[in-house]
Structure 1
Amino acid sequence: MSSLMSLSSQRGLVVCAAVFFLTTLVACSESPAPQEPLRSVKLLTVSAGALGFEGLYAAEVRARVESRLGFRVGGKLVQRPAEIGQRVASGQLLAVLDAQDFVLSAQAAQAQVTAAQSQRDLAAADFKRYEALRSQNFISGAELERREVGLKSAEAALNQAKAHAQAQSNQVGYARLTASHAGVVTAIEAEVGQVVSAGQVLVRLAHDGPRDAVFSVSESAMGDMQVGQALQATVLSTGQTVQGTVREMAASADPVTRTYLVKLALSKGEALPLGATLNVRAASLAGRGGAQAWAIKLPTSALRQEGQGTAVWVFDEASMTVNSQTVELGPVDGNEVVITSGLQPGQHVVSAGVHVLSPGQKVMVYKADAKARGLSPAIANAATSGPLAAPAAAPVPAAALVPASPR
């Protein structure tokens, strides 16, 4: 009897252990991954639109002529009366070098002139005596010619000494830097006590007189501007309107910004302060050569960063999925960016919520979008009419977009 009870208890223990083991396996098994939600997206159809070149360009008022002044000799700067913003007259003193060495050199050169003058006077008197002796046939003609050559040599030495003395005297004058024209000092690039070299720029002087508005334009706008074209500008601080004429256009693009510098000659702009900001309104430009320019443009909300480039989500109607497509960016046109390559007209691109999608992800099309884009009836019937499953991401600023390859 006791053996039967012992056997029964052993069986019970085995059953309990098996139940515990199965329960543990069930508890430790991985739960199925939650299914990714089917997101609803808004689409836009890629198409070529007209480029609008009309707009405002921020310009800066500059003097038409600006001199970069420096000493013609090197030395230690001992005085600098000029200050930034100071209005100076023509010939006004701007800076002074230590001229002690130049003065000593000038004195030495003057002493050489005195010595050369003495040698020339002695040679002249000697030639005069020998000339009298030759007239009395006491000396030969060859001897007189030697005295004449000695006189000419002494005169040449005297002229050389005088020229050297004048050059050294000029060096003393070069130690004083004066304003070449009346104007305004716009920059100071040396301080008292500094040793400067010959030709080093110390003072920048904006000449009084005509003023220019200087601004940069893109290559597309550059093609429709021409010298002599009339433009209108507005002073940002006062609202004053001034007229101008395109005076100069850069022959090549800036290597960094890839824009072209334009100088607008301002009519009656002499009273405008240097450095003032103007808004130059360009006339309505049709496009290069007078023909309307067309390009693919997308809003910044459709663009996203991918590595070192920029990409968009292209919608595949057959599989109802989105795929990443790298694009190259062109200039900004208003609130849109020109796409130079990577897309073809007729493709459908996701215009909102681009930062919550992944390659190959299945999506639903917003119902109003499906009908507007002319998608197949099956897709339009299956499209959602409610709010988007994911909020739209904030638009990417145009300045933050990085082209996929340098332009």
Structure 2
Amino acid sequence: MPRSILLAGLLALVAGCSGDAEPEAAARPALVVQARTQGAALSAYAGEVRARHEPALAFRIGGKVARRLVDVGDRVKAGQALAELDASDVSLQRESAQAALASAESDLALAASELERYKSLFDRQLVSRSLYDARVSAHEAAQARVRQARAQASVSENQADYAVLRAPGRGVIAQRLAEAGQVVAAGQTVFVLAEDGEREVLISVPERDAAGFAPGRKLAVELWSMPGRRFPGVLREIAPAADAQARTFAARVSFDPGQASVDLGQSARVYATAEGGEELAVPLSAVYEHEGQAALWVVDAAKSTVHLRPVQLGPYGERWVPVKSGLQPGEWVVAAGVHLLLEGQRIKPIDGDNRPVELVPAPADAR
């Protein structure tokens, strides 16, 4: 019995000693990469080919659309009729104006004859000066009424012409916004015409990039129908205010396609090279979000431990993202499994082929 008690005591002592010294946690394997410098980042913006001039066509008077003579996609020439209004009321107004003009001219003829007669009587001193002056005033008033009636008749003639909507130039009907039988107001858009000539690409620029887009900036345009072929372009204009819903700025890029065939509405990409020369970049998989801010797990090369560091990133690319601030050239970052790490955790650095990586500290002048 005493030997059993002694053995139990020794086992308890050994168990107590082993609980006081926990084994050190094993280092976690982690894929690491070294922050590298790359050429200025190339940002791509999706766009659509549009005409340089796209006037919205509308009737200058209101009325009911009697006929629609063209459809979307039709080519038109300058002066071609596109739609007509019901001209019944316009014709009546024109007849009324012409009748008023005829009446005013008749009154003028009567006033002229009265003036001539009174002048003859006044010269023979058979009527007073006041009566003669009254006839002069009546004649001048009749002349004014004729001018007024003639102007009103011209307006009525113009309105009769306004009942026919005509194309201001050659081009293609891009939109149709009214149909036969519809009542439209004066100035209400009926068609949108894409005029022949210069072509542009309409893009949407995010708020973070808008400051770098000034008219005259050199860009490159690539059509989806011709991948790999880029045409030189220039930013012609950018909207002064952001879209209320998308919060992006509409921008138009002029480009010269040369002999290439470019269709309206064709998809395109506009490439912009970031200003500032070379910059640091890390893989997209290295980016970690901490409290709503981008961060990287930076490796302490001397201790093989990781530390979370907030950084400022540039526009995201397909595989890499530029780092604007918060990282120095040559520093190592964890490039995979960033959501599994803890602050100060020891790692076993490996490369993409599962081979151990010897961490080389960044140069002192880069820190």
TM-score range, shorter chain: 0.7 to 0.9
2:14 paired residue number = none
1:387 paired residue number = none
1:365 paired residue number = 348
In 2, Cα distance between equivalents of 1:346 and 1:239 = 35
1:382 paired residue number = none
1:73 paired residue number = 61
The 5 Å alignment of 1:295-374 reads 295-306=279-290, 308-315=292-299, 321-333=305-317, 335-345=319-329, 347-357=331-341, 359-360=342-343, 362-366=345-349, 370-374=357-361
Of 75-84 and 197-206, the range deviating more from structure 2: 75-84
1:55 offset after TM fit, Å? 7.9
2:17 paired residue number = none
Match of 2:154, SS? helix
1:331 offset after TM fit, Å? 1.6
Whether 2:125 is the aligned partner of 1:134: answer no
Query: Which one of the candidate residues 282, 293, 296 is aligned to 2:277?
Result: 293
1:184 offset after TM fit, Å? 0.8
Structure number with larger C-alpha Rg: 1
Whether 2:192 is the aligned partner of 1:204: answer yes
Q: How many residues in Structure 1 have an aligned counterpart in Structure 2? A: 329
In 2, Cα distance between equivalents of 1:98 and 1:373 = 84
1:275 paired residue number = 265
Letter in 1 for 2:282: L
In 1, Cα distance between equivalents of 2:302 and 2:235 = 57
The 5 Å alignment of 1:23-38 reads 38=27
Whether 2:254 is the aligned partner of 1:263: answer yes
Query: Which one of the candidate residues 1, 4, 28 is aligned to 1:39?
Result: 28
1:117 paired residue number = 105
Could you give the per-residue CA deviations for residues 129-151 of structure 1, whole angstroms, max 9, x where no partner exists? 10111122212333222211110
Whether 2:145 is the aligned partner of 1:157: answer yes
In 2, Cα distance between equivalents of 1:58 and 1:87 = 27
CA RMSD of aligned residues (A): 3.8
Of 272-281 and 68-77, the range deviating more from structure 2: 272-281
2:171 paired residue number = 183
1:303 offset after TM fit, Å? 1.4
Letter in 1 for 2:358: K
1:237 paired residue number = 225
Letter in 2 for 1:272: V
In 1, Cα distance between equivalents of 2:108 and 2:303 = 107
Match of 2:322, SS? strand
Match of 1:185, SS? strand
1:126 offset after TM fit, Å? 0.7
2:90 paired residue number = 102
In 2, Cα distance between equivalents of 1:97 and 1:130 = 51
Query: Which one of the candidate residues 68, 73, 85 is aligned to 1:85?
Result: 73
1:8 paired residue number = none
In 2, Cα distance between equivalents of 1:232 and 1:339 = 24
In 1, Cα distance between equivalents of 2:191 and 2:82 = 8
In 2, Cα distance between equivalents of 1:343 and 1:40 = 22
Quote the sequence identity (%): 33
1:276 offset after TM fit, Å? 2.9
Letter in 2 for 1:302: A
In 2, Cα distance between equivalents of 1:265 and 1:201 = 30
Whether 2:160 is the aligned partner of 1:172: answer yes
Could you give the per-residue CA deviations for residues 117-138 of structure 1, whole angstroms, max 9, x where no partner exists? 2221211111011011112221
1:94 offset after TM fit, Å? 1.3
Of 108-117 and 56-65, the range deviating more from structure 2: 56-65
Could you give the per-residue CA deviations for residues 137-185 of structure 1, whole angstroms, max 9, x where no partner exists? 2123332222111101111011111111221232222122111112111
Letter in 2 for 1:371: E
Of 326-335 and 200-209, the range deviating more from structure 2: 326-335
Note closer, same or farther for the CA distance 1:146–1:36 as it changes in structure 2 (3 Å cut): farther
| Aligned residues of 2:68 and 2:180 also touching (Cα < 8 A) | yes
| Aligned residues of 1:253 and 1:260 also touching (Cα < 8 A) | no
In 2, Cα distance between equivalents of 1:245 and 1:96 = 40
Letter in 2 for 1:265: D
In 1, Cα distance between equivalents of 2:306 and 2:162 = 74
| Aligned residues of 1:183 and 1:208 also touching (Cα < 8 A) | yes
Note closer, same or farther for the CA distance 1:349–1:259 as it changes in structure 2 (3 Å cut): farther
| Aligned residues of 1:296 and 1:340 also touching (Cα < 8 A) | yes
| Aligned residues of 2:40 and 2:279 also touching (Cα < 8 A) | no
| Aligned residues of 1:213 and 1:265 also touching (Cα < 8 A) | no
